[in-house]
Amino acid sequence: MSDVKPFVLDFDLVSGFCTSGKVKPTQRRVSDMVAQFANETAARAMVEGGDPLLYEFYGLDLPEDDSGVLQFGTTILYPGKVGEEYFMTKGHFHTILDTSEIYYGLSGHGMMLMETPEGQVDWKEIGPGEALYVPGRWAHRSINTGTEPLVMFFVYRGDAGHDYGTIEEKGYRKLVVERDGKPAVIDNPKW
């Protein structure tokens, strides 16, 4: 068991930021995930046009080898599109595949796109006051389908680990794009 002492952190309910600055978020820009967007040409043009920030998320300095630890924080995913595809997170499986995760919507509106290695696919809308359960084995990607930042609090087993490689190589089976001003889930033509 790890020797972590009790502690308190502040996360603003609307912005999602730790306003005291006790912890700092990791930032991901379009340049960090050009190949993950269906329209890579549009993504490259956005990188050249200023490389906008897609999202920020907190990871705490907690032991990563202890199944008793819970990792937690917020994800702040900005609104916008690359081509017709909404801003999204990279998405990942957990390295310990059967570890689950809870997300709780604080502000903004979006979707969680999920799939299993066997090819089951699901997506759920998430907004303020809604708790979303991502079961073990389900890769998960957050997508901002709204006009405000999508802010969610998350908790998962601290030793779960992140497998980004599988998603980076193959992408998701589905994409979430804007069609007629509304979100639509379509087949990924690259899959």
CA torsion sign for 147, 130, 185, 73 is positive
Going across the sheet that includes 81-82, the strands are 81-82, 85-86, 174-179, 182-187
Q: Which is nearer to Zn ion, 101 or 159 (CB)?
A: 101
Two structure tokens written together for 6 = 């009790």
Q: Cβ closer to ligand PAN: 46 or 138? A: 138
Q: Which residues bind ligand PAN (CB under 6 A)?
A: 28, 57, 75, 89-92, 101, 140, 142, 154, 156, 162
Out of Zn ion, ligand PAN, none, what residue 75 binds, judged by CB under 5 to 8 A for its kind, is ligand PAN
Least gap, CB of 181 to ligand PAN (angstroms): 26
Q: Do 16 and 168 meet the contact criterion of CB atoms below 8 Å apart?
A: no
Which among Zn ion, ligand PAN, none contacts residue 90 (Cβ within 5 to 8 A by kind)? Answer: ligand PAN
Nearer to ligand PAN, 158 or 182 (CB): 158
For residue 49, the minimal CB distance to Zn ion (Å) is 30
Name which of 141 and 174 has its Cβ closer to Zn ion: 141
Q: Residues near 104 by Cβ (< 8 Å), separated by ≥ 6?
A: 130, 131, 132, 152, 153, 154
Q: Are 132 and 112 in contact (CB under 8 A)?
A: yes
Structure tokens at 66: 């202890």
Which residues inside 96-155 make contact with Zn ion, applying CB under 5 A? 101
Is residue 92 within 8 Å of residue 163, measured between CB atoms?
yes
CB of 71 to Zn ion, least distance (A): 9
CB of 15 to Zn ion, least distance (A): 21
Interface residues with Zn ion (CB under 5 A)?
101
